[in-house]
Amino acid sequence: MRIFLTGASGFIGGALIRGLAAEGHAISALVRRPAPAPPLRGCRLVQGDLAAEGGLEAARDALAEADLVAHVAAQRKDWGMSTDALFRVNVASGPALLSMATHAKRFLFVSSVGVHGHSTGRSIDETSPMLPYDRYGQSKVDAERALRDAAATLGVPLTIVRPGIVYGPGDTYGMVTKMAQLIARRRFMMVGDGMNRVHLLHVEDLATALARALTAPGAEDDTFLLAGTEAVTMTQLAGLVAREVGRRPPPHVPVRWVRTAADVMERIYRILGATHEPFVTHAKATLLTCDYLYDTTRARERLGFAPRTGIEAGIRQTVDWCRRQELL
């Protein structure tokens, strides 16, 4: 099959490309810069920019030829980014791609469980309310709605996947990598009692599920939540990371201290017009203190989703990769 993919040079997109290429698909990859990263060698590279006006024109022919389209790219670091710029990348790009994919048999959109916010006493599933708590989550809500409208108008089957918190080798920005760096430098502290539970997803398990959502019969016009093999408390997660980096488990601090610090730091950064996010934010405090639990029954039954990487093995792989990259 001829597949067009965005986000190809990113953490998740790179893992997906490796899996699709191994299955023999012909892949066209949208890149902002022409120099190919290792996962992109052997792919047809199309230079474009989701954030720029007319940034997809060079991709029109490749999109028109594609049998399948996987829209993986997104702007995750949104601190200091204008609302218009975030909208162009995370919301408007999807319908623009869809309108050019004139022969596509399926359009896969990688959304986020962030559309649901955090858990409130039970596992989240595909029917749970949309309750995002940050701009990124809201942009994914808006993107899903815009894509559903466009897909219905154009008659293109749409599949939406909402991954949980993704981690694994190759991630330079995610929660586990940042936690490993901070614990190694003795700069990480547990917020609150650490008994809230999180449901992490290894990147290779995600890539396998995305490939099935893109190519498997019967996955059209459906939405799937994806999470890993087991949920762990934040204290357990920090303990596993600390063990792998050779440190003691981090100390705990009261939630109210962190919320107060977030108020002060966010206010100062906004006054200064800083484009990088503060060390402490309310979004980070929420991530570290709330439950993130997901019910993946639909993906298991309809996609055969069966994550294989346990949390201990996954943390070990991630920390080993960080060490080899000299990130610790």
What does each of the 328 residues of the chain score in pLDDT, given as a tens digit? 999 999 988 899 999 998 898 888 999 999 887 665 655 667 888 888 998 888 899 899 999 999 999 999 999 887 878 888 899 999 999 999 999 999 999 999 999 999 999 887 788 999 999 999 899 999 999 999 999 999 999 999 999 999 999 999 999 889 999 999 999 999 999 999 999 999 999 999 999 999 999 999 989 999 999 999 889 999 999 999 999 999 999 999 999 999 999 999 999 999 998 888 899 999 899 999 999 999 999 999 999 999 999 999 999 999 999 999 999 9
- How much is the pTM? 0.94
- Domain extent listing, the chain: 2-171+198-231+292-309
3-state secondary structure of 108: strand
* Identity at 267, one-letter amino acid code: R
Its CATH class, for the domain covering 2-171+198-231+292-309, is: alpha beta
pLDDT at 36: 58
pLDDT at 155: 94
28: nearest Cα among 56, 66, 55: 66
The alpha helices in the chain, defined as continuous H runs, are 11-22, 60-65, 83-87, 93-100, 135-154, 175-184, 203-215, 234-245, 255-272, 282-289, 297-303, 311-324
**Both structure tokens of 259:** 């919320």
Give dist(CA 116, CA 125) in Å, integer.
9
pLDDT at 306: 95
Rounded to 10 deg, the angle between the 203-215 and 11-22 helix axes is: 60
Instruction: Express each pLDDT in 118-135 by its tens digit.
Output: 887 788 999 999 999 899
Q: Are 27 and 65 a contacting pair, CB within 8 Å?
A: no
Q: Are 28 and 8 a contacting pair, CB within 8 Å?
A: no
Task: Write b or e for each residue in 2-18: b if 16 or more Cβ atoms lie within 10 A of its Cβ, otherwise e.
Answer: bbbbbbbbbbbbbbbbe
250: nearest Cα among 240, 259, 258: 240
pLDDT at 40: 66
